[in-house]
Structure 1
Amino acid sequence: MTHTYAVVLAAGQGTRMKSKLYKVLHSVCGKSMLEHVVDHVQEVGAERIVTIVGHGAEKVQDKLGNRSEYALQSDQLGTAHAVLQADAVLGKLAGTTLVVCGDTPLIRPNTMQELLKHHQDTSAKATILTGISEDPTGYGRILRDEQGYVKRIVEQKDASVDEQKVREINSGTYCFDNEALFAALKLVKNDNSQGEYYLPDVIEILKNQGEIISAYATNDFEETLGVNDRIALSQAETLMRKRIAEKHMKNGVTIISPTNTYISADAIIGYDTVLEPGVIIEGASVIGEDCLIGPNSHIKDSKIGNRTTVHSSVITLSTIGDDTTVGPFAHIRPQSEIGNEAKIGNFVEIKKTKLGNKSKVSHLSYLGDAEVGERVNIGCGAITVNYDGKNKFLTTIEDDSFVGCNSNLIAPVTIGQGSYVAAGSTITKNVPAQSLSIGRARQENKEGYVEKLNLK
């Protein structure tokens, strides 16, 4: 079985992005372009991945961690020079090496797999991933011989009138016989106007040695898009967002307006869930079956159970159970766990709180740093007062309790099982089980007081 390796080119600064952020770390559908590329080469079974780093090397390594090995291109001397930096890691290995740019997030894993298969089937030393462009202006053209093998790559500026009519272009992604690649890289010259070492020159070197050079044309030209500026970044975002939406719709998700719905590449969504316009789903979020995610809801790195409804709300780093309703206009902040058949109503904020099954926080309340049991009712305007200006404290509300409207629960405090807190109370002491607690001043009426205020 042939061993497969990958070299990911990620050393360029990306000056056309006009950004402090290293180019390949710019995000497409919630994940950096580089991570998309590494995900894809991992999916096709690359045993060793070497990422060529230069500008922003530490940030790239922080992002990928141990998913890749690294080689440093300290001077930016061209693509062939970049690949050559992997020689110490891969140079002596037998197998096939995929070379792909870190700014090409749209190349699908199955396209890479077909490229590798075509390479093996044709017994080529090098195979180029190509595309068919309606307007190939600016691209290097692929010129084939009578057998369909590659004769050469000709750049736009060097192409004759007839050659410029060729619509098959070089995508900049290749696979090579690994040993032939590193042997040829050492023969590449830099006698050009830029004084750089270009990877396409390896193709010419191998061709002159009598080796077979093949090409595999993807049937989706959009895959070949390389991102060099903010315009191309926007195009990549649009294309990938469309691809992601179509994948989910094919898998049984209803998306009312795909062009106005934003789903991360890592999100998982169950059958018969409906996403209404303006929904944003970020990170590794998981949404169950038969859910309704209402307009303009924003869900990030969270898990939503089955048959749950989210109305125009924000949920971050939290878990929502089955048969639960959230919103409208609720904010579920990180480290919250909402149980099954629960209700989070309008203008409710929850932070680092566990809310038990069948409990309700219907409107205009704040629960922070709290553990709330099952079948608890939290009245309108109730607040867990969890912060003293320096430290956070826990509020515990046990099963079957009732907290009246506009109550302040001053943490640390426990409301015992089955207890009632009267509306408008400020609770500073633990409430025993099955008790009624009233913590408010006695009402006093000042008759005739308004007339005194109106005296001139």
Structure 2
Amino acid sequence: MYKCALILAAGQGKRIKSDLPKVLHKVSGKEMVNHVIDTMRKVDIEDINVIIGKGSELVKEKTSSRNVTYSLQEEQLGTGHAVKCAVDFLKGKKGTVGIFCGDAPLIKNETVKKLLNEHIEKGNSATLLTSILKDATGYGRVIRENDEVLKIVEHKDCNEDELKAKEMNAAMYCFDIEELLECLNKITNNNEQGEYYLTDVIGILKNNGKKVGAVVTDYEETIGVNSRVQLAEAEEILRNRINLRHMENGVTLIDPKGTYIGEDVEIGKDTIIYPGNVIEGKTIIGERCILYPNSRINNSCIASEVEIQSSVIIESTIGDNTTVGPFAYIRPDSVIGKNARIGDFVEIKKSTIGDNTKVSHLTYIGDAEVGSGCNFGCGTVVVNYDGKNKNKTQIGDNSFVGCNTNLISPVKVGNNTYIAAGSTITNEVKEGDLAIARAKQRNIEGWVNRRGLTNK
């Protein structure tokens, strides 16, 4: 059966007090609306329409990679009005449409799948997601009769008996598309808020003798984010879920509460992660790695048996059995080989470092191709910028670069070469050569005394 989804993402969110549209605030490193879109993909819903309003261009920009379409809700006149704005998307379609909230990122794909299956298998005209609360104050109530869903009443419109109901509407639904379109023409804004409620569709369907079902889930999954406090609560819930999943898969987290792992991160078994690590984006970490405290790794691929200490790695690749840090900075588009050593206060920028190469401390390598088996002394600088352009340096296999060397790009250093400490290299060093590029030392006898600079 054909399935599609609408994601409500038009609100600015006054209580969150931000210039950024509410649905673009991040939970575990990803925009809330993108969490919801990605959940839809996991249950094989490919046709997704995002209903946008405030900050529409920015929402489009941040969701453009998700291959979705958009409907514009220029005025926020309620959830029913939002869905009305997507009528052109729904016209001519037959099957099921799921409706979800772009500010509710905690819904699990298993729950969405259960909601869809219940709707389709039971032949419902509508199926809603609900939760049972001890105190449902502020939430729309699900009113049942003989255990059947009769209607949904917004809290502000409840009478005394309806306020006693404990089952709350999670504002997530499945509808038969054709029946939803028919009902949207009948809803009105005759209520305290003067808005068009999507929940009124349930009452219309029931009055027409249609079947309405409900799936009860944990309240935690249904939480919508309307403030910074709720944003922090959602962050904590999702972080706990993510960390639990990794621990169940064989990863050791020394202190889960102090470890921040993005939802899309993959980690191999027997890897040990100390507190203070922030692992973001689509990072992949192999098996038997050790991440000592306080590193940030973003959109990078870390192979197996790698050790990282207090370093930053962004959009780069680290090979097997390599050590990084402490206090190293691996900038985007860098590839570090196997059995390499990137030590303290080393910065690598858009460079390839070969297998078994050691860059142990206090060195900058930018826009370079470095071979295998090389050794860099401390204080080495690849001078890759001439004031106008970035230039490339090539260093061959088994080369030794002495301390305080400047390699002025573009320059080529061949295999099996030596560069003397303190050299500034501007010309090619051919294979097997020793390069010395510094002034010859001379001592001026008695110079200190003649200048009167003797310390007394």
Normalising TM by the smaller chain, what interval?
A: over 0.9
Query: Structure 1: which amino acid aligns with 2:309?
Result: H
How far apart, CA to CA, are the structure 2 residues paired with 1:188 and 1:258? 48
Query: Structure 1: which amino acid aligns with 2:194?
Result: G
Aligned positions of 1:217-256 closer than 5 A? 217-218=216-217, 220-256=218-254
Cα gap change, 1:132/1:453 in structure 2, threshold over 3 Å: closer, same or farther? Answer: farther
Deviation track 1:321-377 (CA, whole Å, cap 9, x = no partner) reads 111000111011111110001000111111111100000001111111111101000
TM-score (ref. length: structure 2):
0.96
**Which residue of 2 is the match for residue 203 of structure 1?**
202
**Structure 1: gaps spanning 5 or more residues:** none
**Which residue of 1 is the match for residue 80 of structure 2?**
80
Query: Structure 2: which amino acid aligns with 1:299?
Result: I
1:122 Cα deviation after fit? 3.1
Query: Structure 1: which amino acid aligns with 2:33?
Result: L
Residue 451 of structure 1: SS of its match in structure 2?
helix
The root-mean-square deviation of aligned C-alpha atoms, in Å, is 1.6
Cα gap change, 1:238/1:89 in structure 2, threshold over 3 Å: closer, same or farther? Answer: same
1:455 Cα deviation after fit? 6.1
Task: Answer yes or no: is the 8 Å Cα contact 2:40–2:46 preserved in 1.
Answer: no
Task: Answer yes or no: is the 8 Å Cα contact 1:25–1:60 preserved in 2.
Answer: yes
Cα gap change, 1:398/1:128 in structure 2, threshold over 3 Å: closer, same or farther? Answer: same
**Which residue of 1 is the match for residue 4 of structure 2?**
5
**Which residue of 2 is the match for residue 30 of structure 1?**
29
TM-score (ref. length: structure 1):
0.96
**Which residue of 2 is the match for residue 145 of structure 1?**
145
**Which residue of 2 is the match for residue 281 of structure 1?**
279
Task: Answer yes or no: is the 8 Å Cα contact 1:3–1:47 preserved in 2.
Answer: no
How far apart, CA to CA, are the structure 2 residues paired with 1:273 and 1:167? 44
Residue 48 of structure 2: SS of its match in structure 1?
strand
1:124 Cα deviation after fit? 1.9
1:453 Cα deviation after fit? 3.6
Aligned positions of 1:261-272 closer than 5 A? 261-272=259-270
1:131 Cα deviation after fit? 1.1
1:87 Cα deviation after fit? 1.6
1:434 Cα deviation after fit? 0.6
How far apart, CA to CA, are the structure 2 residues paired with 1:87 and 1:337? 49
Deviation track 1:308-328 (CA, whole Å, cap 9, x = no partner) reads 111110001111111100011
Residue 246 of structure 2: SS of its match in structure 1?
helix
Cα gap change, 1:62/1:158 in structure 2, threshold over 3 Å: closer, same or farther? Answer: closer
Query: Structure 1: which amino acid aligns with 2:331?
Result: R
Residue 351 of structure 2: SS of its match in structure 1?
strand
**Which residue of 2 is the match for residue 258 of structure 1?**
256
Match of 1:394 among 363, 380, 392: 392
Residue correspondences, number: 453
Task: State percent identity of aligned pairs.
Answer: 53
Query: Structure 2: which amino acid aligns with 1:290?
Result: R
Match of 1:418 among 407, 416, 419: 416
Query: Structure 1: which amino acid aligns with 2:185?
Result: K
Aligned positions of 1:4-403 closer than 5 A? 4-65=3-64, 67-146=67-146, 148-161=147-160, 163-218=162-217, 220-403=218-401
Task: Answer yes or no: is the 8 Å Cα contact 1:385–1:409 preserved in 2.
Answer: yes
**Which residue of 2 is the match for residue 407 of structure 1?**
405
Query: Structure 1: which amino acid aligns with 2:31?
Result: S
How far apart, CA to CA, are the structure 1 residues paired with 2:154 and 2:368? 65
Moved more, 238-247 or 438-447: 438-447
Aligned positions of 1:422-433 closer than 5 A? 422-433=420-431
How far apart, CA to CA, are the structure 2 residues paired with 1:49 and 1:205? 26
Moved more, 158-167 or 378-387: 158-167
Residue 70 of structure 1: SS of its match in structure 2?
strand
